[in-house]
Amino acid sequence: MTSAETYEAIDIPSATEDPAAYVAALLEVAGDADPFEVMATTPAKARDLCADLTDDLARALPQPGEWPAEYIVGHLFDVDVVYGFRWRLVLTEDNPSYPGYDEARWAPLPRLPFRQMLSAWEGMRAANVALLRAVPRADWQRTGRHGEQGPETLEIMIRKVVGHDLAHLNQLARTVQAVTAGRG
């Protein structure tokens, strides 16, 4: 990332206020991207984006109402906790139900130090990608029921995470750019 690059925000509606629009937006962002390529490389891309951040800059608000880099990475970690569980439910149970969760309430929960959390997320993501790579393609049509978004296939769940990753990498790039602006 160079200081000349700019990143236009990706608009994703609220998952709670408009679940259908939220899912549609994530799937649009995911497009035809290779899910394993995106999911396997997202943690390394996040690490690269954050390479020059001090701990103070990782905690710095890019602007009022926006998440600092440590919250974004923490949220991505949480998504792997949540989706790792959901994927395993869908693969081992017939049409299981699972709740949504309030990401804004999870974001400020106590966490590992920033760099340690990033490493933990990399490991968890690698485990989740290994699981999904081993799943026969026919099993991607197994279903579960999201408490807020309704029925969904494993394939839709995976594509939602791809769109989610891409949107949050964009957010992270904008955050890093904002908190490092003017540093010499």
- What CATH number is attached to the domain comprising 142? 1.20.120.450
Q: Is the pLDDT confidence value at 9 over 90?
A: no
Strand pairing partners for 151? 145
Q: Is the pLDDT confidence value at 150 over 90?
A: yes
- Identify whether 17 is part of a domain: no
Calculated CA dihedral for residues 52, 74, 146, 104, nearest 10 degrees: -110
- Identify whether 6 is part of a domain: no
- Identify whether 118 is part of a domain: yes
* Residues with Cβ within 8 Å of residue 119, at least 6 apart in sequence: none
Quickly state the pLDDT bin for 108 (edges 50, 70, 90). Answer: confident
Start-to-end C-alpha separation, the chain = 15
3-state secondary structure of 150: strand
3-state secondary structure of 74: helix
As a whole number of angstroms, the distance between CA 106 and CA 88 comes to 21
CA nearest 44: which of 180, 172, 178? 172
- Identify whether 122 is part of a domain: yes
Per-residue pLDDT, averaged over 152-181, amounts to 97
CA nearest 86: which of 162, 29, 17, 153? 153
Residues 81 and 124 sit within 8 Å (Cβ to Cβ): yes
Q: Is the pLDDT confidence value at 4 over 60?
A: no
Q: Is the pLDDT confidence value at 66 over 80?
A: yes
pTM equals 0.94
State the total domains in the chain. Answer: 1
Domain with 161, as residue range(s), is 27-180
CA nearest 115: which of 35, 52, 41? 52
As a whole number of angstroms, the distance between CA 71 and CA 85 comes to 21
- Identify whether 83 is part of a domain: yes
- Identify whether 8 is part of a domain: no
